[in-house]
Amino acid sequence: MAARLGRILGPVLIVVWTVVPLLWLLSLSLKGGDHINDGRFWPTSPTLHNYRTVFRTDLFTSALRNSIGISLIATVLSVALATLAAYAIARLDFPGKKLILSVALAIAMFPTISLVGPLFDIWRSVGLYDTWPGLVIPYLSFTLPLSIWTLAAFFREIPWEMEQAAQVDGATPWQAFRKVIVPLAAPGVFTAAILTFFFAWNDFVFGISLTSTGRARTVPAALAFFTGASQFEQPTAAIAAAAVVVTIPVVAIVLAFQRRIVAGLTSGAVKG
């Protein structure tokens, strides 16, 4: 009986645990100006006023543009570079393979804040401070390790003999690659892309340190400098609304691709 109860209660507890903080942000974002300090969990008279404020604030709209642009560029570049490296690691025999994987692992553990001071100094002298490439470059180097590990693990599982088999059956090399290898490799590449996007979308350390204006400031950094509709208004509800807006893509991606994300996070984590 107790085991049965646990089997039902366990999942319920997990969902409550993950969802309550989200619901709180959502409900806060729907509270009107007078109700923001009422100490209740649910809004008494929900309003979309805060969302209108947020989308009329340049600071937020430019940050949203920057976040989307920078994260997408970083994702595409990171996955492209990681695919080349992971293919070599999984398929070719060459000395230094272990070195590359070790370097990647070391960088994955690097305390990013240690680099912020020198990068701040270097970026200012080479003109990368407060620009899109100024953020894309650090995002690349910190997402490449995870991408390379994930992709190498995926590529090792691909039955590459099928490429030759297809060619024996009369396919051209390009057809064999396009029709056989690409469909097999795509899930891995896609998984790496999602994880990379999450990293770039989530970053705060580089976002606040290497930007200063709406030119390149991303959403997490902008939120920390947010003031409401007027300088004298507490920005609480507006921040909550902005928080909900930037959480929507995350929830959408998780809903659509949960299996791939789980596969990527645990790829090879326990093999051997």
Partner 1 sequence: MTAEPQPAFIRRHIRADERRNGAGGERVRAERRLGWMLCAPALTVMVGVTAYPLLRAVWLSLYSYRLTDPAGKHFVGLRNYAVVLTDHLWWSDVLTTVVITAVTVAVELVVGFAFATVMHRIVFGRRLIRTSILVPYGIITVVAAFGWRYAFALDTGFVDHVFGLGHFAWFGHRSSALAVIILAEIWKTTPFISLLLLAGLAQVPAELLEAAEVDGATKAQRLFRVTLPSMKAAIMVALLFRTLDAYRIFDTVFVTTNGANGTETVSFLAYRQTITRTALGLGSAVSVLLFASVVLIAAVFVKGFGVDLARARGER
| Positions in 74-133 near partner 1 (CB under 8 A) | 81-82, 84-85, 87-89, 92-98, 100-105, 107, 109-122
* Between 91 and 179, CB nearer to partner 1: 91
The one segment of 47-55, 58-66, 178-186, 247-255 that binds partner 1 by CB under 8 A: 247-255
Binders of partner 1 in range 160-189 (CB under 8 A)? none
Each residue 18-37 as x (binds partner 1 by CB under 8 A) or -, in order, gives xx-xx-xx--x-------xx
Rounded to 10°, the helix 132-157/113-126 angle is: 130
Q: Residue 113 and residue 216: Cα distance in Å, rounded?
A: 19
3-state secondary structure 126-179: HCCCCCHHHHHHHHHHHHHHHHHHHHHHHHHHCCCHHHHHHHHCCCCHHHHHHH
Contact region with partner 1 (CB under 8 A), list: 54-62, 167-175, 185-193, 256-264: 256-264
Q: Which residue type sits at 155?
A: F
**At its nearest, how many Å lie between partner 1 and the CB of residue 47?**
16
* For partner 1, the closer CB: 172 or 258: 258
Confirm if 74 and 133 have CB atoms less than 8 A apart.
no
What separation, in Å, do the N-terminal and C-terminal C-alpha atoms of the chain show? 37
Closest to 26 in 3D by CA, of 216, 181, 240, 257: 240
Closest by Cα among 197, 206, 223, 236 to 64: 223
Specify the residue, 148 or 180, whose C-beta has the smaller distance to partner 1: 148
Binding of partner 1 by 4 (CB under 8 A):
no
* Nearest CB to partner 1, comparing residues 169 and 248: 248
Structure tokens at 5: 């109860």
Does 72 sit near partner 1 (CB under 8 A)? no
Question: Which segments of the chain does DSSP mark as H helices, in order?
Answer: 2-29, 49-56, 58-91, 97-108, 113-126, 132-157, 161-168, 173-176, 182-202, 205-209, 219-224, 236-265
- DSSP class of residue 110? -
Is 138 a binding residue for partner 1 by CB under 8 A? The answer is: yes
Q: Can residue 17 be called a binding residue for partner 1 (CB under 8 A)?
A: yes
Contacting residue, 11, 127, 159, 173, with partner 1 by CB under 8 A: 11
248 near partner 1, judged by CB under 8 A: no
- Shortest Cβ 64–partner 1 spacing (Å): 12
Among 140, 166, 176, 181, binds partner 1 (CB under 8 A): 140
